[in-house]
């Protein structure tokens, strides 16, 4: 879930080519994460959202997954965008003329 959110944020809010779509794209991604990701996986994009119910129910079985998953997913989302999609700056070549 966090992978998709971070990937879309990089593509719209960070990359100047997509800034006009940022609000719609990020909002749409969050909506799709909530509507489809939550019911399918039971996971949340925010680890703190899972922490409260775990404290209240004193249920800690596999709780680390809710912390590791979003951090790894977010890091991978940024990494994949940066490596495969982000435009690389053109290499500058300077010519020096001696007279």
Query: Each residue of 9-43: pLDDT tens digit?
Result: 988 988 778 778 888 999 999 898 888 887 777 76
Exposed/middle/buried for residue 77 (C-beta within 10 Å: 0-12, 13-18, 19+): buried
pLDDT value at residue 75: 92
Give per-residue burial for 29-51: e unless 16+ CB within 10 Å, then b.
Answer: bbeebeeebeeeeebbbebeebe
Q: Percentage of residues in the chain with pLDDT exceeding 90? A: 17
Domain extent, residue 26, equals 2-84
Residue 35, token pair as written in the block:
């509507």
Q: CA–CA separation, 19 vs 54, rounded Å?
A: 38
Q: At a CB cut-off of 8 Å and minimum separation 6, what does 18 contact?
A: 11, 12, 25
Domain count within the chain: 1
Section 69-87 average pLDDT: 86
Residue 60 lies in a domain: yes
Q: CA–CA separation, 54 vs 60, rounded Å?
A: 6
Residue 99 lies in a domain: no
Residue 93 lies in a domain: no
CATH number for position 8 = 1.20.1080.10
* Statement: residue 90 has pLDDT above 70: no
């Amino acid at each position: 879930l966090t992978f998709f959110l971070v990937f879309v944020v990089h593509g719209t809010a960070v990359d100047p080519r997509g800034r006009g779509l940022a609000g719609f794209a990020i909002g749409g991604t969050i909506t799709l994460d909530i509507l489809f990701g939550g019911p399918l996986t039971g996971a949340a994009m925010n680890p703190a959202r899972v922490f409260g119910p775990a404290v209240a129910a004193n249920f800690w079985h596999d709780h680390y997954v809710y912390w590791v998953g979003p951090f790894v997913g977010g890091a991978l989302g940024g990494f994949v965008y940066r490596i495969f999609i982000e435009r690389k700056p053109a290499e500058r070549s300077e010519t020096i003329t001696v007279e």
